[in-house]
Amino acid sequence: MYKITTKNRKNTGFTLLELLVVIVIIGLLAAYVGPKYFAQLGKSEVTIAKSQIEAFDKAVDTFRLDVGRFPTSEEGLAC
């Protein structure tokens, strides 16, 4: 049998230790970035809701100026 020495063998892949180090680094990055991403996502949903409420308020005011009264429930305000 032939004995493979470190000088003669080809670099065939990563060692288990190298893979574990990379996985730990990726996990640390995900633990740092993940909460910031989801916090920003929540803030953007609040901002979108506020802008939709403002648009609805402007639409109701425009209706009142055009018609002279606020819309009734039959005209689309009821849930």
Please name the amino acid found at residue 63.
F
Please name the amino acid found at residue 26.
I
Give Cβ neighbours of residue 60 (< 8 Å, ≥ 6 apart): 70, 71
**Averaged pLDDT, 23-31:** 96
Q: Residue with structure tokens 């939709």?
A: 52
Task: Report pTM.
Answer: 0.52
Residue 15 has pLDDT above 60, yes or no: yes
- Tens of pLDDT along 35-71? 998 888 889 999 999 999 999 999 999 999 999 998 8
Sketch the domain layout of the chain as residue ranges: 29-69
